[in-house]
Every structure is written in C-alpha cells, then in structure tokens.
Amino acid sequence: MGTVPDAVAPMLAVDGSLPDDDHHGYEWKWDGFRGCARVAGSGEARITSRSGSDHTHRYPELQEIFAPALGGHAAVLDGEVVALNAAGRPEFELMQRRAMHEPTAKLRAEVPVVYFAFDLLRIGTESLLDRPYQQRRELLAELVRPADGRFVVPPWYTRADIAPDQLLATAAQHGIEGVVAKRLDAPYLPGARSPWWTKRALTQTREVVVGGWRAGAGRRAGTFGALLLGGYDDDGALVYIGDVGTGFTDDALDHLREVLTPLARAESPFATEVPRDRARGAHWVEPDLVGEVVHRRVTPDLRLRHTSWRGLRPDRTPGEVRAPKPMGES
C-alpha cells in the first residue's frame, strides 16, 4: 500500500518530419524537465529525472498533488515539470531559475512549477507498458482527475481533430517548443529512442558537456567569455563540438563560476584536439556538467555554429550526451 513504485526509464522520440496519417496521435512538445512521477497508494510521491536521479527535493510543491488526483491508487506517470510564464505557457528560462537555486519558499512563490502528465505507465499493480498508446492516453484521462492547478493532463489530438502542420503553425504562433507524433498502437518502450515517436521542434537545441572555458573581456572581464563543449561519440570518447559565448544572464554566469570552479583540471578532457584559437587560454574542467544550447547549424566537420546558451541540465548525465553525426547517420 505504501511502497513507491519503481521508476520507468522514459521512452524517447526521434527527430523528423511529422507523419500525417490516421495512425498517430499528436501532442505538444513541452519545454521543461522530463520527470517520471511515482506515486504510492499512501500518496507518497517521488519524481525521477530522465537520467534516473531523484529530483523530488527540487519540486517540494508537487509532492502533495498526485494523491487526490489518483484516488488512492498507486501509479507511475510520464510527464514534464514545467514553469509557466505570464501567458500560461512553459518557459525554459524560468525552469533555469529553479535549477540554479535551492527551492526556497520565496523562489517557489516567484517561479512555481507544474507537472504535465502525458502518459500513464502503471495503475495499482498493473503495468500498462504493453498497452497501445491510445489506450494509455484514454486511461490517463479517465483515471487521473487533477484537483490542483499544479497538475495538468494536457490534450492530445488525432488527424481527425487537426492536421499536424496546423499544430506546428499553432505552436509557432504561441511560443510552444514543437509537436510530437506517437503511433496509436505503440507500446511504451522504456529507455528506447523509437521511430514510433517522432518529434518536430521549432528550434534546434542540443545537449552538451562542458569541458572548459575561456575568460571574458570587456564587460565580461573576470568571468566567462565562452564555454568549450563536447559530446560522446559511438566509441565513448568525449569529442570537441564547438563553444558558446552568448545567451548568458548575469545570474547564469555567477552560477557557472560557482559550479565550475571546483571542477578545474590541468589537461583537456576532450579526446579530440581543440583548435588552437579555441584552446588558447582555456581553463579545463572535469566533464561533469550537462548544458543545453540553441544552434543554427552543424558544420561538415561536426561543429555547432551560431550557438546560444540556454542553461544547465541537472536532469541529464554526461554519458547521455551524443556528439553530432554526419548527415544520413542516425
């Protein structure tokens, strides 16, 4: 009765064009931190990140929202922890404020978070992983009755409701990150990146490992001018994939200094050579931190160009971060 169920590793989508047919359901792609909500029959709840870390302490205001909605049932939910802006839409920059600071009462009041549940993976003692997506979605709407604005079951659509290109146009108009298409008959594959789910984001973002930094100049003297970025190739080697020198708030720079200083090391952590002009004056760090950047393109030599910093991703682990691959390789 009181045991919190085990976490389920999230199923992941592939990037691509949205299929336009009657075999898929469509959901908005939410801009937050993925979270598996595990709820005991007693009402005790834990939130586990995509990397498997327990992040319940980061969101204390969410711990009491699940029991009333589940009517005393144990459950496992897949969803996203988001912070809503004044227009009521998820905003990643607000989530960064939560990621950078302890969740004090003041911060929770200024930047409250909401749990968006988009899949039901277990109810009571019954696993729903082998059920088709359409059944799981229908059960989610039928069995979960949010009684609090901090817990939301967002809508999903079929092509009979609205065409996927119209959904993308609506997403662009309202500042939503994108759209995900999911096969109606697909089971839930824990930890797998499956073509049964296809995501179409409206901005190109990429997770990166921070491997070093260069000092700033002018207004940024005494802090960071750029971060040196990497990702892991198929052989498990950390390769250099570019740098980022824009998009930092003063608060983000202060926080980066705080978390990177203890990670200093003498040698580059990259298995590949960093170009001389990028490595000159570099301060190397242990590759323990994951961040996210927006980028305009990937060059033929697999470097990110026109990058802008979005923030750290405490819900990710470095080993998850993949380096870009040549066109045509998955």
Please work out, in degrees rounded to the nearest 5, the angle formed at the alpha carbon of residue 133 by the alpha carbons of 129 and 137.
105
Tell me which DSSP letter residue 99 carries: H
Which amino acid makes up residue 90? Answer: P
Which residues form the catalytic set? 29
CA dist 107 and 220 (Å) reads 27
Give the residue from 284, 288, 304, 286 showing the smallest Cα distance to 296.
304
CA distances from 278 to 136, 138, 236 (A): 49, 52, 23
The whole-angstrom distance between residue 40's C-alpha and the CA centroid of its chain comes to: 25
Q: Name residue 298's beta-bridge partners.
A: 304
Tell me which DSSP letter residue 236 carries: S
Tokens of 184: 């109606």
- Burial of 277 (C-beta count, 10 Å sphere; 0-12/13-18/19+): exposed
> Token match 């939560």: residue?
98
